[in-house]
Structure 1
Amino acid sequence: MKVELLHIVDCPNTAIAEANARAALDVVELGAVPVELVTIWTEDEAANIRFGGSPTILVDGVDLFPTTPVRSLACRVYATESGYAGSPTVAQIDEALRGRRRGGGSDR
């Protein structure tokens, strides 16, 4: 399994998204899987990859929370049980990972 966290420079939500992804991997007993931080530097780069905004969590190249890709260096907003946030919660990532392991995708 390859986990990538795509982000833009100075994204205020990168650290929390990384921490939440690592915690969720621990919950599903995949704590040894690294989370690779991938910086998106240019709008051309954003347009040429599956970048949903910063931060985007990919598992094996697939966005855990599918959305329309953006073509700019933009922030991303996630709907959480507490309202909108700059990162999905540990529970949301856990649920999405479990869905991927069962062969399905996330519905969020």
Structure 2
Amino acid sequence: MRLELLYFDGCPNAADYLPRLRNLAAQTGDEVVARQVTSAEQALTEGFLGSPTVRVDGSDVEPGADARRDYGLSCRVYITDDGARGTPLDEWVLAALGDR
């Protein structure tokens, strides 16, 4: 199992979210690997939907995100029932960790 946080340098949401993601991972005994995306080319190759992106075993934790193709070096916006936010819902992360 691989839990990754992909980000670009200077993303405030990623920096603020990393401790939260580590706490969520600790609930399931997992560790977070943080990886920086540094170029538009890498964003395309990685399928990077913006910062922060959270993946479990290569699959995005956001439901339906694997069908998206809007890759690039940008801040990511997650659309939830409660509106837009800069980080994924805890439930998505925990569900992805539980599905492995």
Give TM class, smaller chain.
Answer: 0.7 to 0.9
- Which residue identity is paired with 1:39? Q
1:11-50 mapped onto 2 (5 Å cutoff): 11-27=11-27, 29-30=28-29, 33-50=30-47
Q: Give the Å deviation of 1:75.
A: 1.0
* Structure with more helix by fraction: 2
Q: Deviations over 1:41-87 (max 9, x none)?
A: 00011011121211101111111114213332111111345431110
Partner residue, 1:105: none
- Which residue identity is paired with 2:47? R
Secondary structure at 1:37 match in 2: strand
> Given that residues 61 and 88 in structure 2 are in contact (C-alpha distance below 8 angstroms), is that contact kept between their aligned partners in structure 1?
no
1:1-108 mapped onto 2 (5 Å cutoff): 1-27=1-27, 29-30=28-29, 33-65=30-62, 66-67=64-65, 68-80=68-80, 82-98=82-98, 100-101=99-100
Does the C-alpha gap of structure 1 residues 96 and 81 become closer, same or farther in structure 2, counting only changes over 3 Å?
A: farther
Structure 2, unpaired ranges of 5+: none
Secondary structure at 1:79 match in 2: strand
> Given that residues 61 and 92 in structure 2 are in contact (C-alpha distance below 8 angstroms), is that contact kept between their aligned partners in structure 1?
no
Does the C-alpha gap of structure 1 residues 94 and 36 become closer, same or farther in structure 2, counting only changes over 3 Å?
A: same
After TM superposition, which residue ranges in structure 1, 4 or more long, deviate above 3 angstroms? Answer: none
Matched length: 97
Sequence identity of aligned pairs in percent? 33
TM-score (norm 1): 0.75
C-alpha separation in 2, matches of 1:80 and 1:19? 21
TM-score (norm 2): 0.80
